């Protein structure tokens, strides 16, 4: 019984460590994963690593490669386009619901959560910023009272986390992004559904453009000579 609990603990520990390495791009886009290397790196056995990779595979962070093991999931420009189209639909609905349904206490929490930023080119600050960013958008969704909407927005924020790391390096948008969140909060407090939807849609479109720019730069830097303009896979 104790062995099973210990095994489960090690598997969960390996899952979180590997996922963080993928999200922060420590494990590179499309990189083949050597399970023994990860086991040594994290001080666990190969079995917990294998179980963690199976779980990450179900979540789309890695893909199984026949006879080779696992690979960090690649992403294409089409993937980004599809995800942001879905994000526009879901978050437009979320802010409209929030403007209509949020309680005064919930609006107060949104206001308190809106004022956060990061330091350009400081990777540690990116991690904290992106955690706050996801929490902020999920907090807004939570006021809808719609569990399925909350789940889908949480999933999208989780999926976009990796590529957001790349997007933050394109240019210093810290002040712009901080003000976007404050404007969203202000519009929600006014319960102005049309204004807050306009702000969130503009923020999402700008974010998509920033990420497209980052992916193009990443492809040029990572692609082999002569292949800079091809659909080179990028992590997600």
What is the mean pLDDT, run by run of 10 residues, along the chain of 236 residues? 67 94 84 94 94 94 92 86 96 98 98 97 90 97 97 91 83 95 98 98 96 80 42 38
Using the 3D structure, point to which of 16, 47, 73 is the last residue of a domain.
73
Is residue 26 located within the same domain as residue 112?
no
Residues found in the chain:
236
Is residue 21 located within the same domain as residue 110?
no
- What's the confidence (pLDDT) of residue 235? 38
- What total number of domains does the chain contain? 2
SS3 66: coil
Q: Considering just the CA atoms, what is the radius of gyration of the chain in Å?
A: 19
Is residue 120 located within the same domain as residue 154?
yes
Is 231 part of a structural domain of the chain?
no
User: Which two tokens mark 62?
Assistant: 């890695």
Is 233 part of a structural domain of the chain?
no
- What's the confidence (pLDDT) of residue 231? 37
Domain containing 195: what range?
A: 77-222
Is residue 27 located within the same domain as residue 60?
yes
């Amino acid at each position: 019984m104790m062995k099973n609990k210990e095994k489960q603990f090690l598997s969960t520990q390996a899952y979180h460590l590997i996922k963080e390495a993928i999200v922060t791009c420590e494990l590179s886009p499309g990189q083949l994963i050597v399970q023994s290397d990860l086991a040594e790196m994290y001080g666990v056995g190969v079995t917990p690593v294998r179980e963690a990779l199976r779980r990450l595979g179900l979540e789309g962070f890695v893909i199984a490669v026949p006879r080779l093991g696992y690979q960090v999931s690649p992403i294409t420009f089409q993937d980004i386009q599809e995800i942001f189209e879905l994000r526009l639909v879901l978050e437009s609905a979320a802010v409209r619901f929030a403007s209509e349904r949020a309680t005064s206490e919930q609006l107060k929490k949104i206001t308190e959560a809106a004022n956060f930023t990061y330091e350009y080119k400081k990777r540690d600050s990116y991690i904290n910023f992106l955690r706050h960013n996801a929490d902020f958008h999920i907090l807004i969704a939570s006021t809808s009272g719609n569990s399925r909407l909350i789940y889908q927005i949480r999933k999208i924020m989780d999926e976009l986390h990796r590529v957001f790391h790349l997007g933050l390096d394109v240019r210093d948008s810290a002040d712009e992004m901080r003000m976007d969140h404050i404007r969203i909060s202000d519009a929600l407090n006014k319960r102005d559904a049309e204004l807050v939807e306009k702000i969130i849609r503009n923020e999402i479109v700008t974010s998509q453009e920033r990420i497209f720019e980052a992916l193009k730069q990443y492809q040029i830097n990572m692609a082999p000579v002569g292949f800079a303009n091809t659909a080179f896979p990028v992590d997600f």
